Amino acid sequence: MSTTPIKHVAITGGTHGNELTGVHLLKHWRNNPEEICRDGLVTELHLANPKANGCNRRYLDQDLNRQFNWDDLSDHSLCGYEHNRAKSLNTLLGPKDAPRVDFIIDLHTTTANMGTTLVIKSDDALVVGMAFYVKQQMPEVTLFYEPEDRMSDNFLISLAKHHGLLVEVGPVPQGMLRWDVFDQTRQATLHCLDFLAAVRRGDEPDLPESLAGFQYVDKLKLPENERGELTAMIHPDRQDADYQPIKPGDPLFMTFDGNSINYEGTETLYGAFINEAAYYDQHIGLSLMRKIDIRLPG
Amino acid sequence: MSTTPIKHVAITGGTHGNELTGVHLLKHWRNNPEEICRDGLVTELHLANPKANGCNRRYLDQDLNRQFNWDDLSDHSLCGYEHNRAKSLNTLLGPKDAPRVDFIIDLHTTTANMGTTLVIKSDDALVVGMAFYVKQQMPEVTLFYEPEDRMSDNFLISLAKHHGLLVEVGPVPQGMLRWDVFDQTRQATLHCLDFLAAVRRGDEPDLPESLAGFQYVDKLKLPENERGELTAMIHPDRQDADYQPIKPGDPLFMTFDGNSINYEGTETLYGAFINEAAYYDQHIGLSLMRKIDIRLPG
């Protein structure tokens, strides 16, 4: 893997303040630093949005994990709480155009039944390789491949030189901890560090040339009336069925009076972020994904 | 059932602003009033905490459903948002010492795996009879019996002449809707109205003399360190195991580094509100309950 050596790794949590798993993993690792210590790596721990975490809210003014594209970081007329917090993190971990930190692992949770999902937003061999390595160790992991130019990507992980990896685990309600979710997040993160340490010492793991994953196609809004009020919710056939196929004609939503609304697409796709509580502010019901082969860059 | 006739029934939802099931059931019934219309009854629908609901928070200043005891309603030095909202609801539905409304059905949800639970806070024959009737129609329902003097009870339902019934359904994360939870809440509420209408027309349902239920014993805090920070979470053996027995020595909590903390009591009890997200502000992990026979008052 012909990349410059990785040394500085940041693990971030609480980017969404009510996703407690990352917040408490950071506390755990502060008290048990040997668990994240790897020869050759300097790993730092950052609570990304302490104020939102203190209020047990996803964010105060705007979603922090959408504030990191280069133009927004450079725009000082954007002055909401999370706009400022993003600029502060850019100073701490970046700056984005010449980052101090090589790699960021950002810890998230979802209310959807997505198990452990690794969100890959880069075609960098190191990022894809890391995701492949974690899936080798934890075959139950799902890979979500959505490469984006690092400077225009608006995710926190895009601050680091090699981009990074977003670890998304569920289902868990906001504002609480579940052991299964906590432990899966912990394991996935430790595998990430193992991989970076192995690459650094030139002991690169054997990885497959390609693995199956999913790519984002579209998101579907929950049905609304003319006043913008919800009139339906996720259909029980779709609830908890993340990464299961959605075929033309399959029920998507159930109206409040019990009628089904069906999928009108012509291609069989797959659901993700089904009934994610955090997306109710925009009345988004689910994402549609396409199954793909993800190739490890040469 | 020798009670004065019931006429005015209030259905309340959104008493906790991020419990959306009740909020959207109220909207549904506003658009479909025939579903809750019963001969002889006048049923009104009230969103109890619209401002907290607008912010998608349980409450703004204090838990609204703990503000209805007589002393607090009479204490005008209590001036938080929910203190004032409680006084306003007392004017709308009460006043508590001479209520306009005969019965309140208050709709709640929980993140715990409690299915449909009816919380009975009165030994009034009408309230207990209603709970028994609902359980006849929906055998999966659990009865939680915690009678309290109406004037000193601090729940919203205590504003009504005959007290009322709290319908608590889960698991569902805060800030979202699930069809199964929505539909169970709807069914339980409609059975309540059927029962009140039957009693009013003198067509009292045959009810058993007693039914099994649970009574609150104690609540257990999540383990903390000397700085008041969480050091453990609900043990996976307890997670989602509401109303299952907890025997002496059974694991209760799992520390962040994976060690079990066991139940030190000597009596087999039963868990409820296990890992309820709303109780994390006080670091309460679960309630311990005792199995009891609930007798229908003569």
Taking the CA atoms of residue B189, residue B194, residue B199 and residue B202 in that order, the dihedral angle to the nearest 10 degrees is 180
User: What single string gives the DSSP state of each residue in B247-289?
Assistant: -TT-EEEEETTS-EEE---SS-EEEESTT-GGGGGGTEEEEEE
In a domain, A41, yes or no: yes
| Structure letter (DSSP) for residue A238 | T
pLDDT at B298 over 90: no
Q: How far apart are CA A124 and CA A296, in angstroms?
A: 9
CA nearest neighbour of B37 among B196, B246, B268: B196
**Cβ neighbours for A150, distance < 8 A, ≥ 6 positions apart:** A96, A122, A158, A163
Three-class secondary structure of residue B188 per DSSP: helix
Residues of B in contact with A256 (CB under 8 A): 24-25, 27-28, 182
Three-class secondary structure of residue A270 per DSSP: strand
Q: How far apart are CA A282 and CA A239, in angstroms?
A: 19
User: A215 pairs with which residues across the strands?
Assistant: A290
In a domain, B80, yes or no: yes
User: B143 pairs with which residues across the strands?
Assistant: B118
If asked whether residues A236 and A264 sit together in one domain, one would say yes
If asked whether residues B266 and B176 sit together in one domain, one would say no
Q: Least CA distance to B240: which residue of chain A? A: A178
For residue range A119-165, what is the model confidence (pLDDT) as tens digits? 999 999 999 999 999 999 999 999 999 999 999 999 999 999 999 99
Supply the pLDDT for residue A5: 77
A175 inside 8 A of chain B by CB: yes
Residue A238 Ramachandran class (φ > 0 left, ψ -120 to 50 alpha, else beta): alpha
Residues of B in contact with A234 (CB under 8 A): 177-179
The single-letter code of the amino acid at A115 is G
Instruction: Indicate the pLDDT class of residue B3, thresholds 50, 70 and 90.
Output: low
ipTM: 0.93
Mean per-residue pLDDT over chain A, rounded: 96
Residues of B in contact with A229 (CB under 8 A): 27
Supply the pLDDT for residue B4: 66
A158, A177, A207 — which closes off a domain? Answer: A207
Q: How far is CA B267 from CA B81, B217, B242, B270, B289, in A?
A: 41, 11, 17, 10, 11
Q: Cβ(A218)–Cβ(A287) under 8 Å?
A: yes
| Structure letter (DSSP) for residue A198 | H
A248 inside 8 A of chain B by CB: no
B177/A230 CB distance under 8 A = yes
For residue range B250-290, what is the model confidence (pLDDT) as tens digits? 999 999 999 999 999 999 999 999 999 999 999 999 999 99
pLDDT at A3 over 90: no
Instruction: Indicate the pLDDT class of residue A4, thresholds 50, 70 and 90.
Output: low
Q: Residue B174: which of A28, A173, A229 has the nearest Cβ?
A: A173
Q: Rounded to 5 degrees, what are φ and ψ at A104? A: -120, 130
Q: Cβ(A171)–Cβ(A123) under 8 Å?
A: no
A280/B176 CB distance under 8 A = yes
Min mean pLDDT across A44-53, A137-146, B2-11, B159-168 is at B2-11
B229/A27 CB distance under 8 A = yes
| Structure letter (DSSP) for residue B165 | E
B239/A27 CB distance under 8 A = no
In a domain, B1, yes or no: no
If asked whether residues B201 and B247 sit together in one domain, one would say no
If asked whether residues B49 and B135 sit together in one domain, one would say yes
Instruction: Indicate the pLDDT class of residue B2, thresholds 50, 70 and 90.
Output: very low
Mean pLDDT score, A35-42:
97
Q: Which two tokens stand for residue B166?
A: 């709290």
**Cβ neighbours for A49, distance < 8 A, ≥ 6 positions apart:** A14, A15, A16, A17, A59, A64, A82, A85
Residues of A in contact with B276 (CB under 8 A): 176
A61 inside 8 A of chain B by CB: no
B235/A179 CB distance under 8 A = yes
User: What single string gives the DSSP state of each residue in A127-173?
Assistant: HHHHHHHHHHH-TT-EEEE----TTT--SGGGGSTT-EEEEEEES--
- CATH number for the domain spanning B198: value is 3.40.630.10
If asked whether residues A135 and A236 sit together in one domain, one would say no
pLDDT at A196 over 50: yes
Q: Would strands A245-246 and B42-47 be described as parallel, antiparallel, or unpaired? A: unpaired
Residues in chain A: 298
Instruction: Indicate the pLDDT class of residue A2, thresholds 50, 70 and 90.
Output: very low
In a domain, B3, yes or no: no
Domain tally, chain B: 2
Q: How far apart are CA B161 and CA B144, in angstroms?
A: 21
Q: Rounded to 5 degrees, what are φ and ψ at A123? A: -100, 15
B257/A28 CB distance under 8 A = yes
Range of the domain at A36: 8-207
If asked whether residues B122 and B32 sit together in one domain, one would say yes
A176/B280 CB distance under 8 A = yes
Residue A211 Ramachandran class (φ > 0 left, ψ -120 to 50 alpha, else beta): beta
| Structure letter (DSSP) for residue B64 | G
A245: distance to nearest CA of chain B, Å?
20
A278: distance to nearest CA of chain B, Å?
8
pLDDT at B24 over 50: yes
Three-class secondary structure of residue A108 per DSSP: strand
Residue B56 Ramachandran class (φ > 0 left, ψ -120 to 50 alpha, else beta): left
If asked whether residues B197 and B65 sit together in one domain, one would say yes
Residues of A in contact with B277 (CB under 8 A): 173-176
Q: How many CB pairs under 8 A join A and B?
A: 93
pLDDT at A245 over 70: yes
Q: Cβ(A170)–Cβ(A112) under 8 Å?
A: yes
B174/A229 CB distance under 8 A = no
Tokens 């004017």, residue located:
B91
Q: Least CA distance to A276: which residue of chain B? A: B176
For residue range A201-235, what is the model confidence (pLDDT) as tens digits? 999 999 999 999 999 999 999 999 999 999 999 99
Q: Least CA distance to A173: which residue of chain B? A: B173
For residue range A142-155, what is the model confidence (pLDDT) as tens digits? 999 999 999 999 99
B207, B228, B247 — which closes off a domain? Answer: B207
Residues of B in contact with A182 (CB under 8 A): 233, 256
Min mean pLDDT across B4-13, B140-149, B233-242 is at B4-13
Residues in chain B: 298
Q: Which of residues 205-244 of A touch B (CB under 8 A)?
A: 229-230, 233-236, 239
B176/A111 CB distance under 8 A = yes
pLDDT at B125 over 90: yes
If asked whether residues B16 and B149 sit together in one domain, one would say yes
Q: Cβ(B181)–Cβ(B109) under 8 Å?
A: yes
**Cβ neighbours for A194, distance < 8 A, ≥ 6 positions apart:** A38, A133
A275: distance to nearest CA of chain B, Å?
7
B207, B224, B250 — which closes off a domain? Answer: B207
Residues of A in contact with B257 (CB under 8 A): 28, 32
Q: Cβ(B172)–Cβ(B116) under 8 Å?
A: no
B99: distance to nearest CA of chain A, Å?
32
In a domain, A2, yes or no: no
Q: Rounded to 5 degrees, what are φ and ψ at B103? A: -155, 140
Supply the pLDDT for residue A1: 55
A182/B256 CB distance under 8 A = yes
- CATH number for the domain spanning A242: value is 2.20.25.160
Cα dihedral B17, B20, B26, B31 sign: positive
Question: Packing angle between helix A179-200 and helix A20-31, nearest 10 degrees?
Answer: 60
Top residue of B19, B231, B233, B276 to mutate, by most chain A CBs within 10 Å, is B233
Q: Which of residues 66-105 of B touch A (CB under 8 A)?
A: none
pLDDT at A298 over 90: no
CA nearest neighbour of A10 among A89, A67, A119: A89
If asked whether residues B227 and B288 sit together in one domain, one would say yes
If asked whether residues A53 and A164 sit together in one domain, one would say yes
Which long-range CB contacts under 8 A does A59-68 form with residues at least 24 apart? Answer: A59/A16, A59/A17, A63/A16, A64/A15, A64/A16, A64/A156, A65/A15, A65/A16, A65/A106, A65/A108, A65/A154, A65/A155, A65/A156, A66/A154, A66/A155, A67/A154, A68/A96, A68/A153, A68/A154, A68/A155, A68/A156, A68/A158, A68/A159
In a domain, B137, yes or no: yes
Mean pLDDT score, B112-130:
97
In a domain, B2, yes or no: no
Mean pLDDT score, B27-39:
96
B190 inside 8 A of chain A by CB: no
Tokens 């259905």, residue located:
B11
Supply the pLDDT for residue B5: 77
Mean pLDDT score, A41-69:
97
If asked whether residues A107 and A141 sit together in one domain, one would say yes
Residues of A in contact with B174 (CB under 8 A): 173-175, 277
If asked whether residues A191 and A223 sit together in one domain, one would say no
What is the end-to-end Cα distance of chain B in Å, rounded? 8
In a domain, A3, yes or no: no
A178/B239 CB distance under 8 A = yes
